Structure 1
Amino acid sequence: MTAVIPVAKPVSQMQLAPGSAVTIPDVSWSEFEAILEELGHKRRARVAYSQGTLEIMVPLPEHEKPKELISDFVKALLRFQGKRYEPFGSTTFKKEGIAGVEPDACFYITNYQRMIGRRRLEPDDPPPDLAIQSDVTSKTKLDAYAAIGVPELWVYDSGTLKIYVLRDGIYLVSDDSPLFEDIPIKQIIPTFVERAWQVGNLQALEEFEMAIASK
């Protein structure tokens, strides 16, 4: 009988094509931390960890274009409303021993002053006020975001935007954004994301800014 010998290789040696994702079960928190360290900060792959399962994915242009554009839309909305903010991009947010996520984009608004100049997150730092995910390669881990305590989460998928609002530790689907109550976010964001595929990001952003200024 031939013995089966397990082979272990560093995660950093995995060759993942754009648009692919791999799920690894039974990953301990210490292993997750070690994998993050191994992968480093300058990488294309994104990771999500929840309830002992680690997902590693490499985004496609179909994923990157909407998330960049929606991030620009949020900045325009915040400027329009006179709100200050600090963008934290795809920073890794962690809840010790429970969850770890890297949003496509995120923003500190209520706590923006506290986060000015922050080069690394501190253990007592609050979660961002808004996180954005573009679901193409994989699906957003709502339980991970809930564990970290992100108050508002936007998930864009196939021309539809879902707004999740955290209430008592559970995400509820909302028709409106608490951050932008007077703007029909669910309708206007997908409209101009799709518009960008036709006319380009810059023109779509310019048209978006004109649309919100007229409301």
Structure 2
Amino acid sequence: GILEIMALSPEHELYKKLVGRFVETLAEELRISIYPLGSTTFSRPDKNSGLEPDECFYIQNQAAVKGKKIIDLTQNPPPDLAIEIDIISSSSNRMEVFADIGIPEIWHYDGISLTIYQLHKQEYILCNQSLTFPTLLMDKVEHFLLQAGVVDYLELINSFRRWVKDQV
């Protein structure tokens, strides 16, 4: 396999944290149980694949892994949602590894656009809506992300929370 070492910029880390907080806020306001595992290393030795997503969440399958100290992907489901932030380098070469691991949905942010990819027959296809949050308007989420670094971090989270509450 290939070992990829990436230097993480402040901008990358801000967006990673912000998109993760948005997922947590959505789950809180919609009363959906989640199990956040951040940048946990996931591997499939049987497929010679492994990676650490920027953020990941068990949502539909959270009950199957909650409390486990080790998650064996040959016996346990993969995370339901992974977040990938591409500010400096492209993660397009990582999509094949995500597919090997079997993560059903990837939210990808490049500093401008937030896109959703869903796994279909071992390949990711671009989709208009999230499996977990089907009523979520991604262009509105992009609007909040574009305010990062300009608007106070906690005020941005609170504005997002108010918007979510108005939607439900």
Over residues 50-106 of structure 1, what are the superposed CA-to-partner deviations in whole Å (9 max), with x where a residue is unaligned?
xx3321112000100001010000011111221101001000111214211101100
Write the deviation string for residues 22-44 of structure 1: whole angstroms up to 9, x where unpaired. Answer: xxxxxxxxxxxxxxxxxxxxxxx
1:135 aligned residue: 86
Q: For 2:16 and 2:141, locate their aligned partners in 1 and report how far apart those are by CA, in whole Å.
A: 11
Q: 1:166 aligns with which of 119, 125, 131?
A: 119
Q: Which runs of 4+ in 1 moved over 2 A?
A: none
Q: 2:53 — aligned with what?
A: 103
Q: Which residue of 2 aligns with 1:21?
A: none
Superposition RMSD in Å: 1.2
Q: Distance in 1 between matches of 2:152 and 2:163?
A: 17
> Number of residues paired by the alignment?
163
Structure 1 gaps, min length 5: 1-51
C-alpha separation in 2, matches of 1:121 and 1:139: 27
Q: 2 CA distance for matches of 1:162 and 1:66?
A: 14
* Higher RCO (CA-CA < 8 Å; seq separation 6+): 2
Which consecutive residues of structure 2, in runs of 5 or more, have no partner in the other structure? none
Maintained 8 Å contact 1:131/1:152 = yes
Q: What is residue 199 of structure 1 aligned with on the other side?
A: 151
Distance 1:102 1:198 in 2: 29
Identical-pair percentage = 36
TM-score (norm 1): 0.72
Q: Match for 1:124 among 64, 75, 79?
A: 75
Task: Report the CA distance between 1:152 and its aligned residue.
Answer: 0.2
Larger Rg: 1
